[in-house]
A and B are shown apart, each in its own frame.
Chain A
Amino acid sequence: MRGALLPPQLRAITGTRSGSLAIFIVRRILWMVPILFFVILITFTLMHLAPGSPWDKNGGRQLSDTVVKNLNIRYGLDKPVGTQFLLYVWNVTHFDFGLSYQYQGKTVSTLLLESWPYTATIGVLAFLLIIPVGVGLGVLAALRQNTRVDYITMGFATIAASFPNFVIGALMVVVFSVLAYKATGGNFYLPAAGFAVDDSLIMPVVTLALLPIAYTARLTRASTLDTIRQDFVRTAWAKGLPERLVVIRHVLKNSLIPVVTTLGPTFAFLVTGSVIVETVFAIPGIGRAFVVAIESRDYPMILGTTVLFSLVVAVANLIVDVAYVFIDPRVRLT
C-alpha cells in the first residue's frame, strides 16, 4: 500500500487529494536543485568559453598586464576553471553569490536585491494587464466570430505579435513622449525614462505586455471557439441561461485551461522581455543589470542573474501546474 512505511501523520495525508498535492510540490521543489546545478554548469561553461576577459575594454587604453594579473588574483580568476566552478557552487549552497567584478565592493546579492523590485513591479503590472485584456479580447472575438469586432481584435493581435518590443518601445517614446510634448506644449506627455510609481510606468508596462496580450487573445479565441461548439454549452443555451452565465460558468471554465498552460512561458517571457524594455526606458531593473553584466563579462553577476531567472521561471511553472488542479478537476498530479 502506498505510504505504508510512512509515519502515521504522513500516511494520513498521502491518500488525500491535498496530501498528494503537497508531496507533488515538495518533489518539484527538490527537483529545482539539480535544475539549478545544471543551469549554473551550463552558464559557467558558456561564460568562460565566451572570448575576452572582464578586464578587456572596448577600445582605448587597456589595463596593463601587471594590473590584469593583480585583478585576476583579487577575484580568484588565477585559479583553475574547475576549482573556480566548485568554489562557486560551494558558495551558492551558502547563499553567497560572490562579489561583482564591475561594481566594486558590491555583492551580487546586493545588486540583485537593489534591482529586483523594479523588474518585479513592471512584470506584475504587465501580468495583471495581460490576463484581463488578453482573455477579454479573445472571448470577445470568439463570441463575435467573423464580425468586424473579431477582425479588429485579431488584426490588433497580429500586429502586436509581429513587432519586436524594442521597436514598439521606441515608437511609443516618439509618439507619446516627444510628439505629444511638442503637440501639447508640454501639458501632456509620458516620460521616456526613469522609474516612479506614476505615469512613467505606463509605456514600459504596455510595451512588455503587448506581445503576451496578443498571444493570449489568439489562444483564448481559438479555445473559446472550440468550447462553444461543445454539447454542454448547447445544453446551457437550451436551458435558457443568459449569455453572461453561459460564458462565465460554462465556456470560460473550460476554454481557459490551455490559456493557463501558457502562463508559465508568459512569465518567462516577462522576465526575458525586461532585458529590452528596461534598456529602452532606462529602468534600473534586473534585465538591464543582466545586459550590462554580459557586456562587461561580470561573471558572478551573470551567474547570479541567471540563477534568479531560472528560479523565477521554475516557481512560475510550479504555480501553474498547481493551478491546474483547481481549474480542472480531471487533472491528477503524480
Chain B
Amino acid sequence: MHIGVWSRALTFATAGVFLAACGGGGTTGPNLASPDKQILRANNGVEPNSFDPTQQTYTYERAVGVQTYDSLFRAKADGSDVEPVGATGFDVSSDGLTYTFHLRANEKWSDGKPVVASDWVYGWKHFLNPALAAGYVDPFFDQTIKGGSGYGNVDVSSASAVDAFLNGLGLSAPDDHTFVVQLDHPAAYFKWVATLWMAVPLRKDIIEQAAGGAFASTDATKAEAWANNASTIIGNGPYMIKEIASKDHVTLVPNPNYWAPKPHLQQIVYYEIADGNTAYSQYNTGALDMIGVPLADVTVVRGDPKLSKEAILIPTLSQYWISMNTTRAPLDDKNVRMALAKSIDRDKLVNDIEHGNGKSLSTFIPKGMTGYDTSDNAQSFDPAAAKALLAQSGKKDALAKMKLLTRNSTASKTLNQFLADQWSTNLGVNIQLDVIDSKTVTRDIRKGQFDIYGLDGWIGDYPDQQDWFDIFVTGSCHNLNWGCLSDKNYDDLVTKADAESDKTKRLQEYSQAQKLLIDNAVVAFMYQPYEYDLIKPYVQGLTVTTTDDQNLPGDGRYNQAFITQH
C-alpha cells in the first residue's frame, strides 16, 4: 500500500552515490559534516499506531518499521527483482510449494544476540495470530501459506483453537539458519510477499519478558506490551529506536550490531507534524531537512528561485481511478461507463487541480513497474466518441440521476467538482456531487451503496503486478473492487498469472487481464500521482527507489546518505 517509484530524479541519486564515494565511505571527506551533525530531520506526519511491524498497515508506521526490522528480502533499487536482506537466498521446490530461505549467517539483533530461524517462525506466527488481527494477514499470507486458509474461522477466544491454527501453519526451522515456508498453492509472487515490512522475525524472550511471563495466545494486550517501549523494541534492522516522544518525534540511531557497513547518518529524527503548512514553515526555518510540499504551496515553490532547486518530483507507484457501481442501472451498461471514462480530460486534471504533480494515465499499471503499457487507448479522452457511446446506449436521462459520492475534504471536493464539470461540458450530463463525511463514504462503499465513487486508488505494496490485478478479482468485491466487477475470464487469467513461474507467459496473461479491465470500464483510470518533495541541499547520497516512503525519499537505503558541511 506504499511505495514511490524513482526514474525522473535518477541523476540526483547517482550524484549522491558519487559524492558518497568521494567521501571515501569514512568520516574524513572534505565535504562531510562532523559525526555529531550527521542528523537527518524529516517529517513522517503521524505517530505510528504501533511499533510492532507485524501490526503496521499505514505508510507512517512502515517508515519506522523498515528501519528497525529487516524482512527476508527487499526490492532492488530498480524494482526489477528482490535482493537479500535477512536471507541471503532461497530455493523453491519444483512444485512451487516449498520455499527454503537461507538466513544471513552473521545477522544479529540490536542487543547483540544472533538472529536464528526460530525467531522468524515466532515472528511470522505472532503476525498470523488471528487474535491479534493484523491488517496485512489477509489476503497476502493466509491465502498463500499452507494451513492459513482457516484464518477467518478460528475461535479467537479459545487459546487451544488459536494454538492449533498456528501450529498447523507451514512454517518451520529445520536448523538455525534455515527458514522453511510451505505454500497452499504455487504463488510466483511469494518472494515479493517476503519483502513486506510485517514479515519479520521477533524475539520470544523479550516479548514474554515485557508481558511479565508466558501468556495465552489469545491475550492481545500482553502480546503487544513490548511494542511501546524503546528498550524492548529489539530489531534486526539498520537502525534502532532511541527515543519515542509520543506524537512529537521518533529518534533512530544506527544498530551497532547490524551486518552492513556503518552508516554516516548517526541520527534520524522523524517528526510527527500532521499539518502540512506547519511542516512547510519548519522546513523554511531550517528545522526540517525533508518534507512533502503541501498542495497549496506547490506554485510558490515552483516560482521560488531557491526552493525550486531543492524540490524533486517523484513518480509514485500508484494510480487513481473512479469506481462505477455495475449493479446499478444505467451503470450496468458498459457503454455508459465507457462514455464517463472517455469524457474526462486527464491532462487538464493533472495541470489544473494537481498543479502538475502527476501523469495522466488511462491504463492500469503505473509507470515504473513491469506491465506499464499505455498502448490501449480505449479509455482515453475523446469527447466525441464518449457522446456517441452515450447516445447509442440511450440512457442519458438515467445517467443524469446518478450521483458522485465524494469524501468531505477540500481535496476530494475540488477534484470531484472538476469531474462533474467535465461530464457536464464534454458529455452534456449533469451529475451531482454527494458530499458526505469520509467515514460514511467508506461504510457506504463497503456495502456497495453508491453510484459513482472516486477518486480512489492503489499504492503498490511491492513492484509486482499480482499486487495490482488481485484488486479486481470477484472475491475482492466490497474490498477495493467497489464496483464489483465480476468477470470469469479476468479471474481465470489473474489466477493463472499469479501462479505462473514463466516470466513471459505471466506478462502476457496480466496484459490480457489489463485489456479486459480497461474495456470493461468498471473503473475509469485517471492519473498516476507524483510526490513533490523538498530536500535541503546538504542532504546527499540518497538512493531513492521504488519501495521508499513518499515523503521520505531514500528511506530504504540510508546507508549511503550523509549530511555535508553547511
By a beta-carbon cutoff of 8 Å, the part of chain A in contact with chain B is: 50-53, 56-67, 69-71, 73-74, 99, 102-106, 111, 114-115, 170, 173-174, 177-178, 181-182, 186, 189, 191-195, 279-282, 284, 288-289, 292, 297
A174 to B271, CA, bound (A): 20
In whole angstroms, how far apart are the Cα atoms of A51 and B437 in the complex? 8
Stretch of B6-14, B102-110, B219-227, B418-426 on the interface side: B219-227
Q: Is B287 among interface residues, defined by CB-CB distance under 8 A?
A: yes
Say whether B133 contacts A71, CB under 8 Å. Answer: yes
With A73-B156, A99-B221 as contacts: A106 and B228 at CB distance below 8 Å: yes
> Quick one: which of A62, A66, A182 contacts B446, CB cutoff 8 A?
A62
Tell me whether A181 and B284 are in contact in the complex, defined as CB-CB below 8 angstroms, given that A104-B49, A170-B277, A284-B247 are known contacts.
yes
A56 touches B439 (CB 8 A): yes
**A284 partner, pick from B55, B248, B459, beta carbons under 8 A:** B248
| Docked CA distance A51–B439 (Å) | 6
**Bound Cα distance A63, B140 (Å):** 12
Contact with A along B133-156 (1 / 0, CB 8 A): 111011100100000000110001
B272 contacts chain A at the CB level, 8 A cutoff: yes
Residue in contact with A52 in the complex, picked from B151, B439, B456, CB distance below 8 Å: B439
Q: Which residues of A contact B286 (CB under 8 A)?
A: 181, 186
* 29 interchain pairs, CB-CB under 8 A: A51-B440, A52-B438, A53-B443, A56-B439, A60-B459, A61-B458, A62-B446, A62-B480, A63-B138, A67-B135, A70-B130, A70-B131, A70-B133, A99-B221, A102-B49, A103-B47, A104-B49, A105-B52, A114-B247, A115-B246, A115-B247, A178-B285, A186-B285, A189-B285, A192-B281, A193-B287, A280-B278, A282-B248, A282-B273
- Contact residues in B for A67 (Cβ distance below 8 Å): 133-135, 137-138
Whether A104 lies near B157 (C-beta < 8 A) is no
Asked if A52 and B1 make an inter-chain contact with CB atoms under 8 angstroms apart, the answer reads: no
B50 sits at the interface (CB 8 A) = yes
A192 close to B49 (CB less than 8 A): no
B442 located at the interface, meaning its Cβ lies under 8 Å from any Cβ of chain A in the complex? yes
- The CA of A181 and the CA of B306, in the complex, are separated in Å by 15
Using Cβ atoms and an 8 Å threshold, which residues of chain B touch A173?
A: 277-278, 281
Say which residue of A70, A111, A193 sits within 8 Å of B156 (CB atoms): A70
- A56 — which chain B residues lie within 8 A by C-beta? 439, 442-443, 446
Complex Cα distance, B480 from A211, in Å, reads: 46
Determine whether the beta carbon of B457 is less than 8 Å from that of A105: no
Query: How far in angstroms is the closest Cβ of chain A from B441?
Result: 8
**A178 contacts B284, CB within 8 Å?**
yes
Q: CA separation between A193 and B156, bound complex, in Å?
A: 43
- Footprint of A on B, CB under 8 Å? 1, 47, 49-50, 52, 55, 57, 130-135, 137-139, 142, 151-152, 156-157, 220-221, 224-225, 227-228, 245-248, 271-275, 277-279, 281-282, 284-287, 407, 437-440, 442-443, 446, 456-459, 471, 479-480
Report the separation of the CA atoms of residues A63 and B58 in the bound assembly, to the nearest whole angstrom. Answer: 12
B440–A60 touching, CB < 8 Å: no
Closest 9 pairs between A and B when the two form their complex, measured CB to CB? A52-B439, A105-B224, A284-B247, A66-B152, A192-B281, A70-B133, A56-B442, A51-B440, A104-B50
A64 near B139: Cβ-Cβ < 8 Å: yes
Q: Are B458 and A60 in contact (CB under 8 A)?
A: yes
* C-alpha spacing A106/B130, complex, angstroms: 20
Closest to A291 in B: B274
Min Cβ gap B42→A in Å is 13
With A56-B446, A73-B157, A104-B50 known as contacts, the answer to whether A192 contacts B247 (CB < 8 A) is no
Give chain A nearest CB distance to B173 CB in angstroms.
26
Q: How far is the CA of A102 from the CA of B271 in the complex (A)?
A: 19
Looking at the assembled complex, report how far the CB atom of B477 sits from the nearest CB atom of chain A, in whole angstroms: 11
Q: How far is the CA of A173 from the CA of B87 in the complex (A)?
A: 48
Q: How far is the CB of B298 from chain A (nearest CB, A)?
A: 16
A192 touches B282 (CB 8 A): yes
Asked if A194 contacts B437 (CB within 8 A), the reply is: no
B274 touches A104 (CB 8 A): no
- Chain B residues within 8 Å of A177, by CB: 281, 284-285
* In the complex, residue of chain A having the shortest beta-carbon distance to the beta carbon of B482: A62
Known contacts A51-B443, A178-B284; decide if A282 and B278 are in contact (CB<8 Å). Answer: yes
